[in-house]
Amino acid sequence: MLGFACIEIIGPWFTLTDAERHLSSSTAGLLIAGVPIVGVVTARFFGDTERLGARRVSGLVLGLAGVAVLTVPHLTGGDARSLAEVFLTVVGYATAPLIAARWLKDVPTLQLTAPCLALAALVYAPAAAVTRASETPSASVLTALAGLGVICTALAFVAFLELIKEVGPTRATVFTYVNPAVAVAAGAAFLDEPFTAGIAVAFTLILAGSVLATAAGPAVPAVPAGPAGPGGPGKGTRPVAWSTRQTSRADGRVE
């Protein structure tokens, strides 16, 4: 649990925030979109032997291409330090779901989320106290902070951890493709920002890639009944139905 909190929350909150002082949000968003691909590679070190298949690989590539179409026109800034910080963030975001799926799958979601966020708050409390504002922020600012804390952090982590349990860690990280698309859609809907043809193309690529990248693998073929076993003729082996839920909750093994 301590490792998950440090890799998923405490570390990335610093590295990504510091990196975005020198990188544009578009650049950071494009780099963060590499999380699913890094996750697929990292999963091999955690014993994941699931075959990706052409469909999921195509989905990962399409989704990344969509994010690129959306963000490349706005790429600015960056230096070796900021790029290294984003890289560390990507590795953390790719590794933490694997930790949760392997060692924390039996911990209830709320019991995992609450102590991790509380630890992060304690770690950052001294820095927040030293750099606190000289005046009390306005009501709108405090409301925005509350929304970010409750909806975009606490509830988002609960949903993310449930998603990891449901579909597995590598599929769950595909949400990083959708983030930039949702941000652009929200900007067009609520801030009157332009919705261009390029954005529409990016949306199509991201949605198509996300569907393909999260698709379930092929069903395991039925295994013919073997020789007579202890239970009688034809009961040596039996076919086992495959499902994403079973494999994600059993470290990649069919229960």
Q: pLDDT tens digits, residue range 95-104? A: 999 999 999 9
The predicted structure's pLDDT at residue 85: 93
Confidence at 250, pLDDT banded by 50, 70, 90: very low
CA distance 148 to 16: 16
Q: DSSP for 129-161?
A: HHT--SSPPPHHHHHHHHHHHIIIIIIHHHHHH
pLDDT band at 227 (very low <50, low <70, confident <90, very high): low
Q: What is the mean pLDDT of residues 200-205?
A: 88
Residue 224 pLDDT greater than 80, yes or no = no
Nearest Cα to 28, choosing from 90, 94, 92? 90
Q: What is the pLDDT of residue 230?
A: 54
pLDDT at residue 243 in the model: 45
pLDDT score of 240: 46
Q: Given this model, what pLDDT does residue 79 score? A: 83
**CA dist., res. 223 & res. 238, Å (int):** 6
The CA dihedral of 84, 89, 92, 93, to the nearest 10 degrees, is -140
Q: Average pLDDT, stretch 151-165? A: 94
Q: Which residues of 81-114 are buried (b: 16+ CB within 10 A; e: fewer)?
A: ebbebbebbbbbbbbbbbbbbeebbeeebeebbe
Instruction: Please write the tens of the pLDDT for every residue from 120-150.
Output: 999 999 999 999 888 999 999 999 999 999 9
The structure tokens listed for 38 are 């890094």
Residue in this structure with the two tokens 């009157």, named with its chain if needed: 192
**Could you give the C-alpha distances from 248 to 14, 30, 54, 75, 116, in angstroms and in order?**
30, 27, 20, 36, 22
Confidence of residue 9 (pLDDT cuts 50, 70, 90): very high
pTM: 0.77
% pLDDT > 90, the chain? 44
Q: What per-residue confidence (pLDDT) applies to 28?
A: 83
* Residue 234 pLDDT exceeds 80: no
Distance separating alpha carbons of residues 104 and 1, to the nearest angstrom: 7
Give the pLDDT confidence of 40-51 residue by residue, as tens digits. Answer: 889 888 877 667
